[in-house]
């Protein structure tokens, strides 16, 4: 769903567990992304609610925000949501945020200056290649992240269990 939004030029900017709902369709559980309330059109020079998205404003949920989002420049693209999805994966697989702190400032400082602790330090049973995929999504340098969510999904396919024919 988010990749489809990206293809339409929309960056979600607030991917987090609360914005992913599970619904049933044809007997299958299907995740759906909701709350595009702080989304942004790529290349948009103006937005309806400029007070929420002005340069220097913090828009999103800090634990899930990429460096280019927390620095307030609004110079974002699909790789900003790739980062947030990396945080979702990291937290789902380890139970921890890659960057945490006792204050907003501490979280933002860590996002801007630290590398995430490899997941295998917290979960030694995880495959090293999976750790590498997630850490790539969490790179501070967005040029080192997956180019988009489809690229990230292709990197994750090797870790999915084969589906049985029904």
Residue 83's CB is within 10 A of a number of other CB atoms, namely 26
Active site residue 14: yes
DSSP letter for each residue of 87-135: HHHHHHHHSS-SS--SSHHHHHHHHHH-PPPPHHHH-TTS-HHHHHHHH
Distance from C-alpha of 38 to C-alpha of 59, rounded to nearest angstrom:
7
Nearest one of 17, 76, 7 to 47, comparing CA atoms: 76
Task: Record the tokens describing residue 132, joined without a space.
Answer: 């590498």
User: Residue 134: CA atoms inside 13 Å, Cβ hemisphere, count?
Assistant: 23
Which entry of 14, 81, 131, 148 is annotated as an active-site residue? 14
Tell me if 55 sits within 8 A of 76, measured CB to CB: no
Residues in a beta bridge with 10: 41
Residues in a beta bridge with 20: 33
Which residues are designated catalytic? 14
């Amino acid at each position: 769903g988010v990749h489809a939004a990206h293809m339409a030029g929309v960056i979600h900017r607030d991917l987090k567990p609360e914005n992913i709902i599970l619904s049933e369709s044809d007997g299958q559980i299907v995740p759906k992304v909701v709350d595009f309330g702080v989304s942004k059109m790529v290349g948009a020079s103006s937005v309806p609610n400029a007070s929420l998205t002005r340069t220097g404003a913090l828009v999103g949920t800090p634990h899930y925000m990429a460096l280019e989002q927390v620095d307030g420049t609004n110079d974002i693209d699909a790789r900003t949501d790739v980062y947030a999805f990396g945080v979702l994966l990291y937290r789902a697989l380890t139970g921890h945020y890659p960057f945490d702190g006792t204050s907003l400032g501490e979280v933002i400082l860590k996002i801007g200056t630290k590398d995430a602790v490899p997941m295998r330090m917290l979960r030694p049973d995880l495959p090293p290649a999976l750790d590498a995929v997630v850490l790539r999504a969490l790179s501070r340098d967005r040029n080192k992240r997956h180019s988009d969510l489809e690229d990230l999904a292709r990197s994750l396919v090797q870790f999915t269990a084969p589906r049985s024919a029904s």
